[in-house]
Chain A
């Protein structure tokens, strides 16, 4: 075997070995990278769950109703006390009101008109 060919073969083998080692190294580096991102992602998910939990707890009926009734003396309103606001509709405007810029007011109706006539406390 000629020296040059031997050198070429040696070089190729060395190069291939280096590529193999580099590739293995890259796999591990990427795994570490992925691990870092995954941990960060998990931390974010956990923080999100924790926030959602705190939100649920702070807006739960126990917390809200407890605060409202203890601090502000709130009691459950009767149906005739509740108002349903109907959305503003352009179609309901008459020609006259449109020309003169008179806008209809939002209409307030009680939720249950059937109990409206009942005596108030």
Chain B
């Protein structure tokens, strides 16, 4: 009896367990075959998270592989107002404004929105993040983002430009080469746990491609020297603006380009657009006497004159087509080379009359004026040079002395390089190479000759005349102590809104190269509306002298000290 009962009980338990298993199996079958898609989609939503993977923006280096623009990790602060109690919101409004230097009303407004995510502050410095974390405020979250930083602040600001909050280029090279710098974003489907925390377990992914690195032709040290001297002259003469371009005349590589006023790339609040303009390529002005190099070179090349051909300079007053031309100092008869050395407007006008309008126009265009140089930075303008059919009767006397023609500082640097390098117009460039993160070359810029403008003999003769400008002429303040140099001064009257030439607003300029026997640097300096003194030979020539002297000394020591770093050493 006992055995029978025991057996029945066991059978009952067996049946119960069997029924339980059958029920489980039935449920499993139902879940697997009838409800699988629906449940899988819910689970997927809960556990999987689609995340965009941000690529690292490329670094910008100078020619010695010194970084000029890099990315750093910064944390951003966000809040989830929907999940916060009024007390928590009040604690945030009380705690954060002091640290973030934000208005409390702005914070209160953001926290009052019925949203599950609002930014409170983007890309906050780590020391401030530390202070916020110490407050242990509920409802706040932190997200890491990368921010563009510029180790040299204001140095090269107009060329580099800057990237915005979302790491898109907004100005300069950052904008122009954005497609190379920003890379390609990737994506990943990641796991998320019950607390909705992200787990770096990829279900599926495509890794981002980091942006390419850009190496410039700019040399950080020469750039610093140029900016230092430009800043000094800008302050000393309380000028409206100033620009300098330093080029290697043999290749067209731009070694330095600076403008004043300038700005710090790390402080972009409340910036005036006028300050951000790269005046060296975006601003056109009448160049004044520096333009005489074109007429002089053309006259020598066409054998219309020789160095000693005499020109009567009319004792300072010359009437042409109803207009009286003046020299800044009256001269009698001067040989051609002294016409240039002493910068006689009347003498140069007579040289231009010998050449004729068509020939003068041809040489102005051949020197690259009136056309874009094709430099690889944004915003370049072509300047202006009227075709001869639009010339008035006085234009033939105005163009040789740099009136009725518009040029940029970069065009002046390229123009003087023609004489420095023996007659070739080189295409200026600023991007030396573009490399990917493994160091492979993506793009390389090699020097390119646009055209031969004058032959080597003419260039050598012009060089001697321009050495004379510095040794005996108007540019003596540009004379270097231990190197030879050649150059030309310019003082241009600016045009008043009435159309008349101003007697109080001037553009002082100087173009030159050094050392004269083997030119390594071609420099164009322009100072817009200097106060007090305004002659190019007084205001701009000393800038040329200081920049050329220090840069040449630096280049020599650099040659001896082993030159540039390798790219891998900088990473």
Contacts and interface: CB of A to CB of B under 8 A. Distances in A.
Interface residues of B, number: 37
Nearest to B220: A61
Interface in A44-87: 46, 49-50, 53, 56-57, 60-62, 65, 76-79, 82, 84
Given A6-B14, A31-B191, A61-B220, A111 B199 contact: no
A118 interface: yes
B463 interface: no
B200 to A, nearest CB: 5
B219 to A, nearest CB: 10
A62 B191 contact: no
B67 A56 contact: yes
Interface residues of A, number: 32
B557 to A, nearest CB: 6
A82 B557 contact: yes
A26 interface: no
Contacts of A6: 14
Contacts of B481: 121
Contacts of A79: 482, 553, 556-557
A34 B554 contact: no
B221 A61 contact: yes
B284 to A, nearest CB: 30
Contacts of A35: 198-200
A88 B93 CA distance: 68
B72 A112 contact: no
Interface in B207-246: 220-221, 224-225, 228
Given A49-B70, A50-B72, A60 B191 contact: no
Given A34-B200, A49-B70, A50-B72, A111 B556 contact: yes
Given A53-B72, A56-B151, A60-B151, A38 B200 contact: yes
**Chain A interface, DSSP helix/strand/loop, else mixed:** helix
A78 B144 CA distance: 48
B8 to A, nearest CB: 14
B524 to A, nearest CB: 22
B167 to A, nearest CB: 15
Contacts of A50: 72-73, 126
Interface in B63-78: 66-67, 70-73
Interface in A22-49: 27-28, 31-32, 34-35, 38, 42, 46, 49
A76 B554 contact: yes
Contacts of B305: none
Contacts of B70: 49, 53, 56
Given A6-B14, A28-B193, A32-B199, A53 B151 contact: yes
Contacts of B199: 28, 31-32, 35
B224 A65 contact: yes
B550 A76 contact: yes
Contacts of B10: 3
A16 interface: no
B201 interface: yes
B60 to A, nearest CB: 13
Interface string A81-117: 0101000000000000000000000000001100100
B409 to A, nearest CB: 22
B67 A76 contact: no
A82 B199 CA distance: 59
A46 B71 CA distance: 10
A111 B482 contact: no
A49 B553 contact: no
B200 A118 contact: no
Interface in B179-218: 191, 193, 198-201
B72 A61 contact: no
Contacts of B549: 76
B72 A46 contact: yes
Contact of B553 (A31, A38, A65, A77): A77
B560 interface: yes
Nearest to A13: B21
A59 B220 CA distance: 12
Interface in B125-169: 126, 144, 149, 151-155
A32 B197 CA distance: 10
Contacts of B200: 31, 34-35, 38
A10 B21 CA distance: 10
A8 to B, nearest CB: 14
Contact of A112 (B17, B155, B201, B556): B556
Given A28-B193, A35-B199, A53-B72, A62 B152 contact: yes
Q: Which of B155, B193, B198, B224 has the most CB of A within 10 A?
A: B224
A62 B73 contact: no
A46 B74 CA distance: 9
Interface in B331-386: none
Contacts of A57: 151-152
A108 to B, nearest CB: 14
Nearest to A69: B228
17 contacts: A31-B191, A31-B200, A31-B201, A42-B73, A53-B149, A60-B152, A60-B155, A61-B220, A62-B153, A78-B482, A78-B553, A79-B557, A82-B557, A111-B556, A111-B560, A115-B482, A118-B482
Given A28-B199, A32-B199, A56-B151, 20 more contacts: A3-B10, A6-B14, A27-B201, A31-B201, A34-B201, A35-B199, A35-B200, A46-B144, A56-B66, A60-B151, A60-B155, A60-B220, A61-B224, A62-B153, A78-B482, A79-B557, A111-B557, A112-B556, A115-B482, A121-B481
Interface of B: 10, 14, 17, 66-67, 70-73, 126, 144, 149, 151-155, 191, 193, 198-201, 220-221, 224-225, 228, 481-482, 549-550, 553-554, 556-557, 560
7 smallest A-B Cβ distances: which pairs? A46-B73, A57-B151, A61-B224, A56-B151, A76-B550, A31-B199, A31-B201
